[in-house]
A and B are shown apart, each in its own frame.
Chain A
Amino acid sequence: MTLAESITNYAGSAGQEAPALGEAAFQLIYDATAQPLWAYLLRVSGRRDVADDLLQETYCRFLARKNGRADVAMSDLDTRRYLFRIATNLLRDRWRNREEEQENDVEQGPVADADAATRMDVKRMLGALKPRARQLLWLAYVEGLSHAEIAEVTGLSALSIRLLLLRARRNAARLLQSNGRVTR
């Protein structure tokens, strides 16, 4: 056995030593959060492949950090927000690396029904907005987070959130209006 192999085995066994978060507990968290988290990543990034990658990466980071802080108990809601925070940081890292492309590739083909039409409108509307605006709209209106909670997730100040969210909401409404989808 070479030295590198010995070290690999050592690292492997160290990783298996009584993880703080068990697989069963992780499965519960995963089942409850994977779909909403993926929807968030998809609509904010606009790309399915990016959403898939970042979903996996989010849970990898979550497990790495959670296992390193076994003493920190988190409620379901806190865990969900924590996951959204990790995902938001990953999206920001991606934008910083200029890897983001604006191309949305989720729905292709003809629009079949009213729901699909609405979905296309939402998709177009979000695609026309800046990533930060998409993020804020989703966190505020889908996840139902308050300004303070959004500030915690995004790392921005609550005052900035207020202004950015207002601007995002007005832009979104204007875009939907121009698509003839507004019910005002």
Chain B
Amino acid sequence: MNAMRCQYETEMIRAIETGECSESLMAHQKNCAACREAVMLAQMLRRDASELATRYVPPSSERVWWVAERHRQMAALARATRFLRLLKIAGLAYSAVIIVWVLHVLTERGVGASWIEGKSVTAVIEGAGLAVLFVASGLWYTLRVDRRRVG
């Protein structure tokens, strides 16, 4: 027999659990140091576990259920708003690109540039106005929601 590990160890532990220890197992235990050690440990640990279990009053199952439901709803919300978050990031990136592009054009051609002439003046002003409106409203919405979340 292997002095380090005994093939009957698991059987011995199960016997402690069920309280049905055969005579052959009991006889084996007397001669097997590994099994005696395992049984001694199992008994101590089980006594400790039983003592802990009787002293512990767990939170009510309703509370645990409610918290789990809440977690599930939060996870569902996170999944549902994932697309909106992506849109926000895209909106911010778009705003940054537009601002950089406008600054680039203005510095290259000048603010009072001669390239805006005649009919194109109205179109340029309208287009710039709409772009500013969309970008500003998008930024305002994004930042407003973020502020609310922080608060």
Interface residues of A (CB under 8 A from B): 3-4, 7-8, 10-12, 14-16, 23, 26-27, 30-31, 34-36, 38-40, 42-43, 55-56, 59-60, 63-64, 67, 115, 118-119, 121-123, 137-138, 140-142, 144, 146-147, 162, 166, 169-170, 172-173, 176, 181-184
Contacts and interface: CB of A to CB of B under 8 A. Distances in A.
B42 A56 contact: no
A162 B5 contact: yes
B77 A118 contact: no
A43 B7 CA distance: 27
Interface string B120-147: 0000000000000000000000000100
Interface in B36-56: 36-38, 40-42, 44-49, 51-54, 56
Interface of B: 4-5, 10, 13-14, 17, 33, 36-38, 40-42, 44-49, 51-54, 56, 58-59, 61-62, 64-65, 67-69, 71-77, 79-81, 84, 145
B52 A39 contact: yes
Contacts, number: 133
Contact of B41 (A16, A38, A67, A169): A169
Nearest to A2: B145
Contact of A115 (B51, B58, B73, B80): B51
Contact of A38 (B48, B56, B145): B56
Contacts of B69: 15-16, 63
Closest 3 CB pairs of A and B: A11-B76, A35-B53, A141-B42
